[in-house]
Chains A and B, each alone.
Chain A
Amino acid sequence: MRRGLQLLGMAVVAAAIAMPAASRAVAQEHDEPLLIALSTQRIEIDSNFAGTSILLFGATDMAGDVVVSVRGPEEPVVVRRKLRSVGIWVNQEAIAFRNVPGYYFVATSSPLEEIAPVELLDRKQLGSERVLLEAIWFDTSGDADEFRAALHRDRERESLYRSEPGVVEFIDERLFRSTIDLPAHVPTGDYVVEAMLLVDSQVLSTRSAALSIEKAGFSADISTFARADEILYGIIAIALALVAGWLGSFAFRKG
């Protein structure tokens, strides 16, 4: 399976490099010395989904370092802290953060701090500790960084963030690849995969690709239905329960 994916990826890259003259001309017009391709652009999560990995292949026109980042769908998140009060643990403090990616991954061909200045890494949010967590409301007198650390801890427990960056591996001087691991609890939605070519601490080229992760199958239909048509869903839920109870009583009447 993995081997197959690799071959597929290679084929994609080969096709990309040997693109028809017209599209290659477009690429040259933009003068991008970087090309990337994903082994798949769409992942379906069904009831057996236990995580998967996809491959990113790419090619560069010049020597340099490559950094790949993947950001999952963003949503506002609240982090609460329990404190002991009258003997029991109660949520008492909270901070809400805007636009927190549900998944974040970065991979690099050399340690990040060696290939780019910290200001650049911060600006591009490269490295999971540099993902911008902008607080939108506070309900605490404590340190916001403790809440940020707790958010990272939570995401790392689910393997949605990783404290250590992954690897971008050069197959030869021009071709590179990286494996992107997606855990079982990966959120559904639109992902952005971005690759950057860095030479002498400068970003020479950036390429991005879209990845979409969707629920599939019967369970997904129910989950969508439960949110899309709440009233009908509620009525069906009641009806099913009434029928189940009635059938049960009917089946056991004689027994």
Chain B
Amino acid sequence: MEIYLPVAELSANALILLVLGGGVGLLSGMFGVGGGFLMTPLLIFLGVTPSVAVGTGTNLIIASSVSGTMAHWRRGNVDFLIGALISCGGAGGAWLGVYIFKLLRDAGQIDLVVSLAYVVFLGVVGCLMAVESVRATVRRQRTARRKAHVHTWIHGLPLRLRFRRSRLYVSAIPPFMLGFLMGILASIMGVGGGFFMVPAMIYLIGMPTSVVVGTSLLGIIVISSVSCFAHAINNNNVDIILGLLLAVGAVIGAQYGTRIGGRIRAEHLRGLLALMVLAVGGRLAYSLVVMPDDPFAVAPLWGN
């Protein structure tokens, strides 16, 4: 069933888009990640412009993080106060990120920056996960040495608040700043950023692992909503038809992915995810390095 995507300005098969969304949803459910970092590059590989891929990505992430947050909320695994701080910082960051995106697009550099950001983030995160997964497999027999959260200068910052759900009494500034950074990244890369936010919440803020995923998803809903809105009004790059088709597939796929993920050993799962992350990053890096078919590119003149 061919359908014309009004903002992406190309025709695509609706079933293929549903399956694509389902596939990414399946993987994101399996690995417990948002899937934006897979979807945005996939859309670019399919011929959607990086601008529309990022704008539509923010739309898709709203849908998949809502269903994730609901599941965690029912189990009481959401720290609403930290979530609110991340959201406030994130809203500002997301708006700034869209503004940076617009400046880069007008300068003709957005494609490069989006690709580079992916290569760097996917490369770093992929390598860290791969190393961690190998280590965990090697010393699986040993009991995990769980560090109680260590106080650093970060926790000593002013504006301390009591976070009941996380059983923490720490400064409000780190969650706010973390949200702000995530907002910028989300707007430029079209990702939710869970793969970056979750480790930061555990290691920098010292939150208990049980509430981290639900809380980060709550922050991601707000960040991606603000980002989606700012993209829609500044860059006209949100395709609701494309976003909705992918979202329906992703939400369904994620449900099955969660079940499959439960049957695979955690460190193997992380190893697989690391390989996938490195493959996507590698493919993007290759397209930056290899000589383009035509070094010239034509675009409408934005701005003036």
Q: What is A's interface to B at a CB cutoff of 8 Å?
A: 46-48, 75-84, 87-91, 94, 96, 146-147, 150-151, 153-155, 217, 219-220, 222-223, 226-227, 230-231, 233-238, 240-242, 244-250, 252, 255
A237: which of B59, B288, B294, B295 is its contact (CB, 8 Å)?
A: B59
Decide yes or no: A246 and B4 within 8 Å by CB, A80-B108, A230-B236, A238-B228 being known contacts.
no
Decide yes or no: A244 and B295 within 8 Å by CB, A87-B289, A91-B112, A226-B6 being known contacts.
no
Which chain B residue shows the least CB distance to A90? B112
Given A91-B108, A244-B63, A249-B68, 18 more A-B residue pairs with CB atoms under 8 Å apart are: A47-B3, A78-B108, A78-B301, A79-B296, A82-B296, A88-B112, A89-B291, A94-B108, A151-B298, A222-B6, A226-B7, A234-B229, A241-B225, A242-B225, A244-B251, A246-B70, A247-B251, A248-B251
Cross-chain contact B252 with A89 (CB below 8 angstroms): no
Which chain A residue shows the least CB distance to B287? A89
Q: What is B's interface to A at a CB cutoff of 8 Å?
A: 2-7, 9, 11, 59-60, 62-68, 70-71, 108-109, 111-112, 116, 221, 225, 228-233, 236, 238, 240-241, 243-244, 247-248, 251-252, 254-255, 288-289, 291-292, 294-301
Cross-chain contact A238 with B255 (CB below 8 angstroms): no
Cross-chain contact A77 with B291 (CB below 8 angstroms): no
Closest beta carbon of chain B to A177's beta carbon, Å = 31
Distance A89 CA – B247 CA, assembled complex (angstroms) = 33
Which chain A residue shows the least CB distance to B229? A234
Chain B interface main SS type: helix
Cross-chain contact A91 with B228 (CB below 8 angstroms): no
Which chain A residue shows the least CB distance to B290? A89
Cross-chain contact B4 with A46 (CB below 8 angstroms): yes
Q: Which residues of chain A are within 8 angstroms of B230 by Cβ–Cβ distance?
A: 234
B301: which of A76, A155, A236 is its contact (CB, 8 Å)?
A: A76
Distance A79 CA – B116 CA, assembled complex (angstroms) = 22
Cross-chain contact B63 with A241 (CB below 8 angstroms): yes
Cross-chain contact B296 with A252 (CB below 8 angstroms): no
Cross-chain contact A234 with B232 (CB below 8 angstroms): yes
Closest beta carbon of chain A to B28's beta carbon, Å = 13
Q: Which residues of chain A are within 8 angstroms of B9 by Cβ–Cβ distance?
A: 223
Closest beta carbon of chain A to B248's beta carbon, Å = 6
| 9 A–B pairs (Cβ distance < 8 Å), ordered by A | A94-B108, A147-B296, A220-B6, A230-B233, A233-B240, A234-B230, A241-B66, A244-B63, A255-B255
